[in-house]
């Protein structure tokens, strides 16, 4: 019946999300109570206060995020890593900065070649640059046991294999996977390279093809009306095709044209006219 939190930031630091949670909790017949600002006998003032507190929570969250991102950007510009796992073929090496934080020395990391995988990754990159397919390149280099996603990741990290540290590349939200190139933070010469910058740009372009934006299935003319002979529904794939699950695809324009032609023939038929008149007479 009651959810008790220390303060409103423990529920959510996003004011929109906090409002949604508060609504769902209230709809379920449960109260939200906060130890640092308990409820009073004036529900209207409590609602006003909670709204203000959610705004403060969001503000503090955004400020902390901006400071954290600024620190990560500074690390990259100084030649350090901004976090995350090293790409295949490299490993992390740590050095101390001389500073002490909470009684422990502050350490920064940078990439060094991993003797276990560096040779195979270099061979894979060279094979891809020579025009060989991804599977063939994996077999030649000895990376054939690696998952396909790992091999694609190697190519998408091509700039890292050119000795660069790249930060702020991935988009937080939206239809695009990556931010515009102008927003990336790139620091060259931070670690030993396996390929040249020009070669890295070539691999990057190959690994990130231009994709079409998929449209909502509801925009297709016959969505929800088409079925396979087995009775399974046909869905719009979003790129101009109907398909059943992950099976064979049929171009929407061709299929809809056939259906429209068949409907027109039936509407023009004598049998349809007689049935229509009979139904109307009822």
What pLDDT does residue 143 have?
94
User: Burial, 111: exposed, middle or buried (Cβ in 10 Å; 0-12, 13-18, 19+)?
Assistant: buried
pLDDT band for position 199 (50/70/90)?
A: very high
Cβ contact 111:85 at 8 Å: no
Residue 177, exposed/middle/buried by CB under 10 A (0-12, 13-18, 19+)?
A: exposed
Q: Read off the pLDDT band of 212 (50, 70, 90).
A: very low
Q: How confident is the model at residue 217 (pLDDT cuts 50, 70, 90)?
A: very low
Mapping DSSP to helix (H, G, I), strand (E, B) and coil, where does residue 32 land?
strand
Q: What percent of the chain has pLDDT over 70?
A: 93
Per-residue pLDDT at 192: 95
Provide the pLDDT confidence category of residue 149 given band limits of 50, 70 and 90. confident
pLDDT value at residue 281: 64
């Amino acid at each position: 019946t009651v959810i008790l939190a220390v303060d409103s930031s423990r529920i959510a630091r996003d004011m929109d999300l906090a409002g949604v949670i508060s609504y769902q909790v209230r709809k379920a017949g449960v109260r939200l109570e906060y130890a640092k600002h308990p409820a009073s006998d004036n529900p209207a003032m409590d609602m006003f206060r909670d709204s203000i507190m959610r705004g403060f929570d969001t503000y503090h969250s955004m400020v902390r995020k901006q400071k954290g991102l600024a620190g990560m950007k500074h690390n990259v510009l100084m030649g350090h890593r901004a976090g995350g796992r090293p790409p295949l073929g490299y490993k992390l090496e740590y050095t101390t900065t001389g500073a002490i934080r909470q009684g422990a020395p502050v350490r920064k990391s940078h990439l060094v070649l991993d003797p276990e995988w560096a040779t195979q990754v270099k061979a894979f990159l060279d094979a891809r640059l020579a025009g060989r397919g991804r599977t063939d390149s994996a077999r030649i280099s000895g990376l054939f046991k690696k998952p396909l996603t790992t091999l694609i990741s190697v190519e998408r990290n091509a700039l890292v294999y050119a000795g660069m540290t790249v930060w702020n590349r991935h988009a937080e939200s939206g239809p695009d996977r990556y931010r515009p190139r102008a927003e990336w933070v790139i620091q060259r010469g931070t670690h030993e390279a396996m390929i040249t910058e020009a070669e890295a740009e070539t691999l990057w372009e190959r690994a990130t093809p231009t994709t079409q934006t998929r449209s909502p299935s509801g925009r297709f003319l016959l969505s929800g009306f088409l079925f396979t002979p087995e009775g399974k529904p046909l869905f719009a794939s979003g790129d101009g095709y109907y398909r059943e699950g992950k099976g064979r695809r049929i171009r929407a324009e061709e299929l809809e044209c056939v259906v429209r032609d068949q409907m027109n023939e039936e509407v023009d038929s004598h049998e349809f006219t007689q049935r229509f008149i009979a139904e109307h007479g009822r």
